[in-house]
Amino acid sequence: MRAKVILLAALVLSLLLPGFSAGAEGYTFESIHAGVTLPEGVYETVLTPGNLKDNEAFIVSRGFTVEGLAADFEARGVLLQAYDQEEDRVLVVTALQDVDAQRIFDVNAHGTDVRAAYRISHGPRGSWVVLGYRYDAVSWKNFAKIGRFLQLRYEYREGGDLVRRGYQRRTVRNGYSITVDMQVFGRQLKGGDNTALNKVFNTFTFSKILPLPPLPITLDETATAPVETSKPSFTMKGKTKAGASMTAVVMSFSTGASKVFETVANKAGNYTLPIDLPGEDVYLMTLTVHSEGLEDLSKAYNIRYQAGLLPVQITGAPPAELLSDELVLSGVTTESGVSARLTVNGVETVKNVPRSGAFSFPIDTSREGVYDIRLTLSKKGLQDRTFQYQTNRFLNEQSRQDAVRQSAASPGYAELLSNPDAYDGQTLTYEGYITKVENADGEWLLRFALRKTDQGFEDLMVLNAETEPAFAIDTPVRVYGRMVGLSVGTDAAGREERLPKLQLLPAAGE
């Protein structure tokens, strides 16, 4: 009879508590169509938005109130917060419909440019720095069943004071920015923390993948915000949904002060929105378009206002590698009476910019070699603007490979490991040994060692390749690759392993 009562109680709990399943600590998150399973006996207390009242004594013991923590959970998008008190760490699963979620919706549905920009946003000049995060390891991994997640290692500070360290897995999917975060307090990180995160993350599943939705509100701008301006005022114009309200919030980067401008589209959907900048500064402007019953549309603009500045935007910059016999260098300025002087490998061309402000220079690039390009725009009373570029034209694959080899750098291993952001995106070259080759979820991963000793291989790296490489194991080789961050994992002994990661350049090994 007692056994039946226990089974009945477990059944009742499974019906009352979201995500609870008898015999396992499983949690489902309906908003993001996902779930995880926690290992038994590790997390003494597990909080969710639905069980805070039941854990009031624990919450109060940590200096919070149920109401206060509920508001905190909502603000941070917390779906689960589990405490491993023995190891002084907290597992937190969050999901937010933030700007990235609205803009990307599903990172797996976009190309490498979007994924690269999202990864770089976690770098030393990215948006996460403003929020107090300092990431020293950032790399993508494509998991077979759940898609791409960033693998991250970080320190988090408030007011300059270190609050915690941790490991994260983060993606954008089903319209949410989703983070699985192992937070560590009062000590340094260790490999076991990453292992503990993986034990939970390896159970992470999606029950449904939502298709990319169409944009509910269209915005056709005929006059947009300038990237640079020498005047304090400008007017935005265009067309959107009839009767839609538009709000522009202009925030100063230097002071944080903000100013709000509003307008409403007319019956035809046309709008006019005058903007007055408070003073010379760099601004972030967010434009929000709202129409009842539809999701808001938001756009962000960076604006530099400086008196005496000749505003110029280059719309057609030279690429790093030329593929055709002609290059067109183009741009636009909002000023009239501007002259432009172009110098290509010492040969100069001068022309006046037409009244439209748009200018272009066709450049003959039919000959193989290096092109040094310098463009200077001038107007009396304003500061000259100069843009310099260097690009290469290759007429055959051998020339391209030779240029890659000549331009590649080889920073020391210790320097590369301690300061990876300084080399992000650069082409690097090293001599060493391929120690392992494997196909991981459709991409080829290679273990590469710079040194071979009597005890084994040292100074390890991870190489990523799109196709199966033709390298033999344990054979000396020189590789060329583009630095794409750090790969974070665990070694055979379960210790944390942080290795430089390079995207192997095709046909660049020898």
299 DSSP β-pair partners: 287
**Mind listing the pLDDT tens digit for each residue in 375-404?**
999 999 999 999 999 988 877 767 777 777
Which residue did the predictor score with more confidence, 428 or 420? 428
Nearest to 448 by CA among 458, 440, 439, 456: 458
In contact, 237 and 221? CB cutoff 8 Å = yes
CA 135 to centroid of chain Cα atoms:
12
Q: What residues contact residue 11 under an 8 Å CB cut-off, 6+ apart?
A: 22
Which pLDDT value is given to residue 21?
37
Arithmetic mean of pLDDT over the chain: 87
Q: Rounded to whole angstroms, what are the CA distances from 220 to 241, 262, 301, 314, 390?
A: 10, 17, 15, 21, 35
Report pTM: 0.52
Distance, CA of 178 to CA of 159 (rounded, Å): 26
Distance, CA of 180 to CA of 187 (rounded, Å): 20
Distance, CA of 387 to CA of 310 (rounded, Å): 13
- Contacts of 103-111 spanning 24+ positions with Cβ under 8 A: 104/172, 105/172, 105/174, 105/175, 105/210, 105/212, 105/213, 106/172, 106/173, 106/174, 106/175, 106/209, 106/210, 106/212, 107/147, 107/148, 107/171, 107/172, 107/173, 108/147, 108/148, 108/173, 109/212
Which pLDDT value is given to residue 442?
63
Which pLDDT value is given to residue 8?
37
Q: What percent of the chain has pLDDT over 70?
A: 92
Q: Within a 10 A sphere around the Cβ of 324, how many other Cβ atoms?
A: 9
Burial class from Cβ neighbours inside 10 Å (0-12, 13-18, 19+) for residue 35 reads: buried
Which pLDDT value is given to residue 506?
65
Which residue did the predictor score with more confidence, 234 or 325? 234
Query: Domains in the chain and their CATH numbers?
Result: 17-206 (3.40.1000.10), 224-304 (2.60.40.10), 312-393 (2.60.40.10), 409-504 (2.40.50.140)
**Mind listing the pLDDT tens digit for each residue in 143-153?**
989 999 999 99
